[in-house]
Structure 1
Amino acid sequence: ALLSLLPGGQSMERSAVTEVGNIALGGFLDGWANYLGKAIDMSPPRYFEADGAAVLPDGALAGDGVFLFESRLDATTTDLDFSIYMLPDSGPFRDLIVGKTAPAAAAGGEAAGGTASTAVPYESLSTFSSLAKKGSANAADNIAMMTGLETSVDVSRLRFVPLADVPAEVGTEPHAGTVFELQGELSGYLAILFQESSAAAVADAMLPMEPDEPLGDMAQNALCELGNVMTSGFIDGWANVLGTTITHSPPEFVHDIGASTISPLVAKLSERQDYGFVIDTAIRTEGIEARCDVYALPDERELARALDHLSDS
């Protein structure tokens, strides 16, 4: 989209893209430097083209993952999407982040009368990512047992986003799915949302006969049962890793504009925290592939405490 806005031939286009990248990344790093109180330099930009994971440097996928910061450019005539892939050296980056956040966390605890920090420990991010993958594997096993179909649930990425941005993440397209309240040492909410067409396809595959309506009562019951076994799989995996007990409420079926399905949960949690987790997943069964998003919205203090306990044990 950006190239179509620029005059000149291919050489001019590449030069312009390189300069835009230079300006965008320079501003990004300046913001980090100002916040951290450190100097951050960068090499001159280099233009290249690649698809998928090939955009990442060699060896980038060998570890637990990469930090991805996504931004959006608004132009006069079109919208421009771009991503900034940040791949810092783990040790120095950790020292910078921990050194900056530790005083703030301590001050926050003192201001709150000594209550626990809401910050999820940096060292525990990879643990939480493994929780998502473990929960997904359990969910796939549960779906296979229920339907008799070979099933996989793949986690493509784990996102840590401001709660206020979660409804916009879901978007304005119609969605259907289930929401649950989590109870136990890790409380909060979990929502499993399909785009409307995917929800109808999944329900149709689960039912012994074609439903009268694509998302009528029969389909709703099927999706509630699917959400039930998926959620049980997710939280059982989390509970096993964390060494604790987590239960969930009966499923509540939702079918509405995407943002409207998640806004009530965000409103409840935003009274006591600012961030939530989004697990991007894809369900694959024999003869059908459907995409869903799992919105895990745990209580931040309880999650931080559980992960701290796990790292100490």
Structure 2
Amino acid sequence: MSLEVDVRKLDLFNTMAKEGSSTVADHLEQLTGVPAAVRTSQINFLDIGDVKTHMGDAERVGIYVELTEAPGGYVLFVLDPTDARHLVGQMMGGVGSGDDGDGFTDMERSGLQEIGNILTSGFIDGWANVLDTTIDMGTPQLLFDRTPAIIDDMGGWPRSDLVFVIDSHIVSKDTDIDLTVYTFPELQALVDLIQDIDLDTDVAEDSTPADVW
């Protein structure tokens, strides 16, 4: 497996993080009518065994979707349960009562499913714009559990020892919503897509071994 990337293309990783997260923030504002902004957007290359440690061990609402085209892998949105209830309440105009066992009504769960569909579509569209491709996805899944259990339930981890993780915090100040986006693409497939992107100069001709990473 070759993960060499022309040094002039490394900024595309940052562009993907910013574009996907900014698109989610825009969609969040459209859903709730409350301004949202990307507070931080970090890129991490983690050993597959360190992912759960990185994400913590708290009770969370997880909304994840599998990418069915390159680069493959998963996109996962993680919220504190209170933030999730605020978010769906904003979208539903404050409707929601009579919780079930996990503290969410059927209506709230349906609303979170819809939010997940809109946000994941927006995030993937942001990526596709940067990569100049189309990326299809499966149906967003909703989970209520501790973060490690959510990771286990996702299953089908990318087939590599390293995981490329974009960790973005999207904040809506007026409602104290803090939404974290984790992405786990197939690293080799992602590198291949980035390598296929043309730059203004001829990469094959102008690059030297010292220019690749």
Give the TM-score band, short-chain normalised: 0.7 to 0.9
- Offset from partner CA, 1:210-256 (integer Å, 9 cap, x none): 33224232222222222222211111111111111101111100111
Alpha carbons of structure 1 residues 122 and 224: separation in structure 2 relative to 1, 3 Å: farther
> Aligned residue for 1:101?
none
Deviation at 1:158, TM superposition (A): 1.8
Q: TM-score, normalised by structure 2?
A: 0.81
> What SS does structure 2 have at the residue aligned with 1:233?
helix
> Aligned residue for 2:98?
212
In the TM superposition, 1:156-305 aligns within 5 A as 156-208=41-93, 209-213=95-99, 214-265=103-154, 267-269=155-157, 272-285=159-172, 287-305=174-192
Structure with more contact order per residue of length (Cα contacts < 8 Å, sep ≥ 6) = 2
Alpha carbons of structure 1 residues 162 and 207: separation in structure 2 relative to 1, 3 Å: same
Q: Select which of 88, 96, 121 maps to 2:5.
A: 121
Q: TM-score, normalised by structure 1?
A: 0.57
Q: State the identity as a percent.
A: 30
Q: Is the 8 A contact 2:61 2:144 kept in 1?
A: yes
> What SS does structure 1 have at the residue aligned with 2:156?
helix
1:131 aligned to 2:16?
yes
Q: Give the length in aligned residue pairs.
A: 195
More displaced stretch, 149-158 vs 133-142: 149-158
Aligned-partner residue type, residue 252 of structure 1:
Q
Aligned-partner residue type, residue 121 of structure 1:
V
Q: What value does the CA root-mean-square deviation take over the aligned residues? A: 2.2
- Offset from partner CA, 1:166-213 (integer Å, 9 cap, x none): 122222211112110102232111111112232222223222213322
Deviation at 1:312, TM superposition (A): 5.1
Runs of 4+ in structure 1 deviating by more than 6 angstroms, as ranges, are none
Alpha carbons of structure 1 residues 181 and 308: separation in structure 2 relative to 1, 3 Å: same
Alpha carbons of structure 1 residues 299 and 280: separation in structure 2 relative to 1, 3 Å: closer
Q: Is the 8 A contact 1:156 1:281 kept in 2?
A: yes
More displaced stretch, 123-132 vs 239-248: 123-132
Tell me how far apart the structure 1 counterparts of residues 134 and 60 of structure 2 sit (CA, whole Å): 30
Tell me how far apart the structure 1 counterparts of residues 58 and 49 of structure 2 sit (CA, whole Å): 18
Aligned-partner residue type, residue 247 of structure 1:
D
Q: Is the 8 A contact 2:78 2:181 kept in 1?
A: yes
Q: Is the 8 A contact 2:113 2:141 kept in 1?
A: yes
Aligned-partner residue type, residue 238 of structure 1:
W
Q: Runs of 5+ in structure 1 lacking a partner?
A: 1-108, 110-116
> Aligned residue for 1:32?
none
Tell me how far apart the structure 1 counterparts of residues 188 and 122 of structure 2 sit (CA, whole Å): 23
> What SS does structure 1 have at the residue aligned with 2:183?
strand
Tell me how far apart the structure 1 counterparts of residues 61 and 92 of structure 2 sit (CA, whole Å): 17
Tell me how far apart the structure 1 counterparts of residues 90 and 27 of structure 2 sit (CA, whole Å): 16
Aligned-partner residue type, residue 268 of structure 1:
G
- Offset from partner CA, 1:242-296 (integer Å, 9 cap, x none): 111101111100111111101244x5225x2112233333333362122232221
Tell me how far apart the structure 2 counterparts of residues 195 and 276 of structure 1 sit (CA, whole Å): 24
Q: Runs of 5+ in structure 2 lacking a partner?
A: 201-213
Aligned-partner residue type, residue 180 of structure 2:
D
Q: Is the 8 A contact 2:32 2:87 kept in 1?
A: no
